[in-house]
Amino acid sequence: MTATPGTLRQPANRKRNNQDLGDFTTTLRVIPISGLAIVIGAVCAYVAWALLRLIGLVTNLAYFHRWSSELVSPATNKLGVYAILIPIVGGLIIGLMARFGSERIRGHGIPEAIEAILMNGSRVQPRVGILKALSSAISIGTGGPFGAEGPIIMTGGSFGSVIAQFFHLTGAERKTLLVAGAAAGMSATFAAPIAATLLAVELLLFEWKPRSFIPVALASATAVGVRYHILGLGPLFPVPLHPASIGFDGLLSCVLVGVLAGALSALLTVAVYGAEDLFQHLPIHWMWWPAIGGLVIGIGGLIFPQALGVGYDTIGALLRGDVPRNIIIGVLLVKSIIWAFSLGSGTSGGVLAPLLMMGGALGGIEARFLPHEGAGFWELISLGAILGGTMRSPFTGIIFAVELTHDWNALLPLLVACTVAHGFTVLTLKRSILTEKVSRRGFHLSREYSVDPLELLFVDEVMSTDALTGGVAIVGVGQLVSYRDETLRAAVYRMAESGVTRLPVVNADRPAEVVGILTLEDLLRARVRHLEEERDRERVLHVGPRSGPGRGSTDPVG
442 against 49, higher pLDDT: 49
pLDDT digits over 218-263, tens only? 999 999 999 999 988 878 899 888 888 899 999 999 999 999 999 9
In angstroms, what CA-CA distances link 495 with 25, 462, 481, 519, 529? Answer: 19, 15, 10, 10, 21
Query: Of 86-95, 150-159, 439-448, where does the model show the most confidence?
Result: 86-95
**pLDDT band for position 388 (cuts 50, 70, 90):** very high
pLDDT at residue number 557: 44
| Helices 289-303 and 85-100, axial angle in degrees (round to 10) | 160
Residues in the chain: 558
Q: Are 335 and 353 in contact (CB under 8 A)?
A: no
The stretch 524-528 carries a mean pLDDT of: 81
Map out the domains of the chain with their CATH numbers.
30-230 (1.10.3080.10), 247-440 (1.10.3080.10), 453-535 (3.90.1280.20)
Q: Are 427 and 265 in contact (CB under 8 A)?
A: no
The stretch 372-380 carries a mean pLDDT of: 93
pLDDT digits over 281-325, tens only? 999 999 999 999 999 999 999 999 999 988 888 999 999 988 898
CA atoms lying within 13 Å on the CB side of residue 76? 10
347 against 257, higher pLDDT: 257
Q: Distance between CA 413 and CA 259 in Å, rounded?
A: 13
Give me the residues paired with residue 93 across strands. Answer: none
Q: Are 151 and 357 in contact (CB under 8 A)?
A: no
pLDDT at residue number 208: 86
pLDDT digits over 461-475, tens only? 888 887 665 555 766
pTM of the model: 0.84
pLDDT digits over 531-553, tens only? 877 787 878 787 766 655 555 44
Instruction: Name the percent of the chain lying above pLDDT 70.
Output: 91
Q: Distance between CA 311 and CA 34 in Å, rounded?
A: 35
**pLDDT band for position 434 (cuts 50, 70, 90):** confident
